[in-house]
């Protein structure tokens, strides 16, 4: 879902040093003013949309990124400190979901399922840039302070060393056994007791994606795999990942869990998963995630509505 976008990033204009100042002086520019990684929203008539505004004088003192053009308009994201509110626990905790709905600024997790596609592409890149800018204050080569350049897409220090936005590649995979049962697991960092998902992990230096799939499955649940096949990918800018989806098969069904990574895991038939989802004893990631796509791809149909599907 987060791959959907209508935004023309208009990258050739980023080298113009006057681009951001000129856009801030143009009242037709559409500004998205983020607090941390949360974005302002309007909920008039029950529809949820991003809330854009015209440039303000104070924007000249804020960090900003030129997002691109859409429907003839230019879009800027400007960044402020996060609101003094608890961090979101995720997207399957009902109490936390309601707290997120009540906020004037909301996270991408809480918006992705309800934003129209013309807002979704803008939201995804804005959150990615907000997270990068928030964590980049000094040059990693010389330690000097950095400033934004290239219309907000490059960090530059006084020695002209350049740093570019970071994207961390991660693999995410649905693993099935000889009886076509699906493996679902709960990581030790999962916040919701009923939550299960497919396995995932980051690539290591010098590693292919297929090798990462095999390594992560072996490390987390002790299974050797084969028939590793690419399915698709999805940006996940929370904070800076690209999720690369695969399927894999295993001839082994004996799980040997890494207790530091996996709290518990089990094999599911389609009937078992359907029953557990209907009773609420199991919940799976919301539709905004490639994890849900991989599960439904195996299941062969859309799953019952889950917490986080409707906001």
Across-strand partners of 187? 262
Q: Please answer whether residues 270 and 299 qualify as being in contact, where contact means their C-beta atoms are separated by less than 8 angstroms.
A: yes
**What's the CA dihedral at 42, 44, 48, 53 to 10 degrees?**
-30
Length of the chain: 311
Domain spans, the chain: 11-163, 168-299
User: Is the sign of the CA dihedral 190, 297, 115, 132 positive or negative?
Assistant: positive
Whether 11-163 and 168-299 share one fold: the answer is yes
In the β-sheet with 162-163, what is the strand arrangement from edge to edge? 146-149, 154-157, 162-163
pTM of the predicted model, to two decimals? 0.88
Per-residue pLDDT 10s for the chain (311 aa) are 788 899 999 999 999 999 999 999 999 999 999 999 999 999 887 889 999 999 999 999 999 999 999 999 999 999 998 876 655 555 556 665 556 556 678 999 888 888 999 999 999 999 999 999 999 999 999 999 999 999 999 999 999 999 999 999 999 999 999 999 999 999 999 988 999 999 999 999 999 999 999 999 999 999 999 999 999 999 999 999 999 999 999 999 999 999 999 999 999 999 999 999 999 999 999 988 999 999 999 999 999 988 777 65
Strand, helix or coil for residue 47: coil
CA 213 to centroid of chain Cα atoms = 20
CATH no. for 168-299: 3.90.79.10
Task: List, in sequence order, the alpha helices (H) in 33-116.
Answer: 94-101, 108-111
Q: Please answer whether residues 69 and 137 qualify as being in contact, where contact means their C-beta atoms are separated by less than 8 angstroms.
A: no
CATH no. for 11-163: 3.90.79.20
């Amino acid at each position: 879902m987060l791959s959907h976008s209508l935004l023309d990033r208009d990258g050739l204009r980023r080298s113009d040093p006057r681009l951001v100042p000129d856009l801030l002086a143009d009242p037709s520019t559409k500004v998205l003013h983020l607090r941390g990684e949360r974005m302002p929203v309007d909920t008039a008539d029950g529809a949820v949309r991003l809330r854009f505004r015209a440039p303000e004088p104070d924007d000249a003192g804020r960090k900003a990124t030129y997002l691109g053009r859409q429907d003839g308009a230019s879009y800027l994201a400007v960044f402020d400190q996060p609101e003094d509110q608890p961090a979101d626990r995720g997207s399957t905790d009902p109490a936390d979901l309601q707290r997120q709905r009540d906020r004037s600024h909301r996270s991408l997790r809480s918006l992705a399922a309800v934003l129209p596609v013309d807002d979704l592409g803008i939201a995804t890149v804005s959150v990615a840039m907000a997270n990068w800018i928030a964590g980049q204050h000094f040059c990693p080569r010389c330690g000097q302070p950095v400033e934004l350049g290239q219309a907000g897409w490059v960090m530059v220090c006084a020695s002209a060393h350049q740093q570019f936005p970071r994207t961390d590649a991660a693999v995410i995979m649905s693993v099935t056994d000889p009886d076509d049962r699906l493996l679902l697991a709960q990581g030790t960092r999962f916040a919701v007791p009923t939550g299960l998902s497919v396995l995932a992990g980051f690539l290591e230096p010098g590693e292919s994606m297929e090798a990462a799939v095999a390594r992560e499955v072996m490390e987390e649940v002790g299974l050797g795999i084969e028939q590793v096949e690419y399915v698709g990918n999805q940006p996940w800018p929370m904070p800076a990942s690209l999720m690369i989806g695969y399927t894999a098969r295993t001839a082994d069904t004996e799980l040997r869990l890494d207790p530091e990574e996996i709290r518990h895991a089990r094999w599911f038939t389609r009937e078992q998963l359907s029953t557990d989802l209907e009773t609420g004893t199991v919940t799976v990631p919301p539709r905004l995630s490639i994890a849900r796509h991989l599960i439904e791809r195996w299941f062969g149909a859309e799953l019952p509505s889950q917490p986080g599907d409707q906001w």
